[in-house]
Amino acid sequence: MKTAIIACKTLEDEINLAVSKTKTNHKIYWIDSGLHNYPDRLRQNLQECIDKIGVYNYIVLLFGLCGNSLLHLSSKHAKLVIPKVDDCISMFLGGNRERRNIEENTRAYYLTKGWLRYENNIWHEYLQCIEKYGLEKTRKIFGIMLKHYTHLIVIDTGAFDSAEFIEETKKIAVELNLEHKVIKGDLSILDRALTNEWQKDFVVIKPGEKITLNDMGTCGEFISQDQIFGISSA
């Protein structure tokens, strides 16, 4: 059984850790993380990647629903395998249920090192806003955007040295007037994606069929943080 992986570049640290842990050697095709802010372009890019991949039995898309960007994707020859998660936040927390449990009483913006590494993230936008409008006006703008948010949550996925990163994000939290919190990540969905354990939390789409919202179960109930802020971090 021949399997290929298509994955967001932002997940590179965590996927490489999962590859090392599971000792798998699937071919991985990386997609630019900046496309998350443009669902139609992301969908087009993903479809082009699917079409260019050679003969495989399965193509695993390591993405969440991501602003409905996976809808209507299809493969002529391979079965498409997709985790049933809203976005990669849920993927790093072990699933949608775990994400919802966290957000019962907490409204948070999430970060991993991968999300902060790429320029289209909340901190980059904040710094750009300072350059354009100055510090005082920027604080007012972000105060409005983040008025319903209480926390900046760092997901410690175990895929990076967290100590230095946590110190950096503490400073960001102070500047954004958010409470800083670190939670342990859960990469079991990635592990199962790589080892063909797709019985739970995954949907398998037959060749020629298109991905629909019904296929994704309860996904889409969350509005992603990127959609709210008009920026892209994951």
Whole-prediction pTM: 0.87
The pLDDT of residue 225 is above 60: no
| Cβ neighbours of residue 81 closer than 8 Å, sequence gap 6 or more | 58, 59, 60, 61, 193, 198, 202, 203, 204, 205
For 19-64, the pLDDT digits (tens) are 999 999 999 999 987 777 778 899 999 999 999 998 999 999 999 8
* Side chain identity at residue 176, one-letter code: L
For residue 79, the SS3 value is: strand
* Run of H or E residues at 62: strand 58-62
Distance CA 208, CA 88 (A): 26
Task: Record the tokens describing residue 206, joined without a space.
Answer: 């037959």
Contact 50, 6 (CB under 8 A): yes
For 97-121, the pLDDT digits (tens) are 999 898 888 899 999 998 888 757 8
| Cβ neighbours of residue 173 closer than 8 Å, sequence gap 6 or more | 152, 179, 180
Mean pLDDT of the chain: 89
Give which of 40, 4, 42, 38 is closest to 24, Cα–Cα.
Answer: 4
The pLDDT of residue 7 is above 90: yes
